[in-house]
Amino acid sequence: MVLEMSQFQQGWSQSDPYLLELLANLSYRSGELSPYLHEIACGVSRLLGSDWSIVTVCRAGAGEVVASSLSLSQSNEFVAHGTLAGQVTETGRSILIEDAQIHAGDIKPPDGYCAYLGVPLRIADGTCIGTICSLFHQPRQFSTEAIRLAEIFAERAATAIDNYQLYHQQQQLLQTLEVEVKERKQAEQKLARLAEIGELAAMIVHEIRNPLTTVLMGLTAFQNMELSTRAQERLRLALEEAERLKRLLNEILIYAKRQVLQASELEVNQLITELLESIRNIPGIAQRNLEFVSSLPSAYIQGDRDKLKQVFINLTKNACEAIDEGEQITWQIEPSQIENCLCISVHNGGSPIPSEILPKLGTPFFTTKSSGNGLGLAIVKQIIEAHQGEFEITSNTTTGTRISIHLPLLRSVPDENRI
């Protein structure tokens, strides 16, 4: 049987100096919640003369005992539904049973107890977050005054729990912000360091290129002289190495610089058609068959024509090196699996790239070629990222190797005849 507070009968003496002093001194300032709530539980037990008092927090059908006037010998977690704590939390009002043997109800007290009282822990916005529950071995009557004092203890406990949770939320937010600031500073430091390295690389390249140009001019002049066969071979090798060094320096300089785009609206089919006509005569490409397939009769992107030309020449040369003369390379344009993007792929049917190597491709100075330096794909990746695009390589024995570039799509016209 549930009784309203106005039905509580027995008075309580306000002369107990311990309780008056406790109420006056209850102040949660230390940040240690558990000792404070323990004082609350012990104070309510003494106030009501209960055999056991606990402070609980209940949410989403589960409860936890956060303080107790007695030591707990079992788990402090419980299912709130059907319990005194759960019902007080749900109803938001004080509930008591003076004698469970007479007033049998849905809530059964633990073994050995026959009377109980539960008062709500209500925070500032009116939400009930838990209870203070007191249990009695013997039947008991309560005065309205005693219940009101118990509710004062509950108000103090609710405020302390609310402040504690708010404090820790703020601390977690502060820690998150501190981590973000630290990571941002580290990122800025790394970017600054990379910028310094880029400037240093550019300076070194310029310092080397100037004398290298002089060396090349001198070596070229020797070609007009009558030399022995052995000397001519040495000259040829020297010129080849000097030209290779020149190309390497140029690529380092390109990679070290930030990619600044001169972007304009481009129709991709037209771009690639024009590009294929110009690169079919490049040595090493002319001996392969280039096929162009598009499922988008009209597709527009925002891009830098010259830099994209550099990308596709590089990818086509790589594909040609993977196959024999007379074999085919396929360029394809199709909708991308990435939303609002199109996919331009370059495919060859040559020997597959080992799976352990695939993730490393595009890393500066990583190459599988005897005469390569790894900067070609690194520059390709850099240019694509400057276009807000994505770059991926797939390779297997069944389909060969496909390099796919996903670029943001401005607009397109689908091929209605394509099934």
CATH code at position 243: 1.10.287
Pair (289, 353) in one structural domain: yes
Question: Tokens 């060094």 correspond to what residue?
Answer: 245
What is the token pair recorded at 1? Answer: 């049987």
Pair (168, 185) in one structural domain: no
For residues 315 and 284, the model is more confident at 315
How many residues are listed for the chain in this entry?
A: 419
Residue 379's pLDDT is what? 84
Check pLDDT > 60 for residue 16.
Answer: no
Confidence band, pLDDT 50/70/90 cuts, at residue 343: very high
Q: Give the H/E segment covering residue 277.
A: helix 268-279
Pair (29, 146) in one structural domain: yes
Q: What's the rounded Cα separation, in Å, for the pair 48 and 387? A: 74
Domain that holds residue 335: 264-413
Q: Where are the alpha helices (DSSP H) in 257-267?
A: none
Check pLDDT > 50 for residue 258.
Answer: yes
* Number of helical (H) and strand (E) elements in the chain, helices listed first: 8, 14
Confidence band, pLDDT 50/70/90 cuts, at residue 119: very high
Q: Give how many domains the chain has, as a whole number.
A: 3
Question: Tokens 């059908």 correspond to what residue?
Answer: 61
Pair (279, 401) in one structural domain: yes
pTM for the model: 0.48
For residues 4 and 272, the model is more confident at 272
DSSP readout, 192-251?
HHHHHHHHHHHHHHHHHHHHHHHHHHHHHHHTTS---HHHHHHHHHHHHHHHHHHHHHHH
Domain assignment present for 76: yes
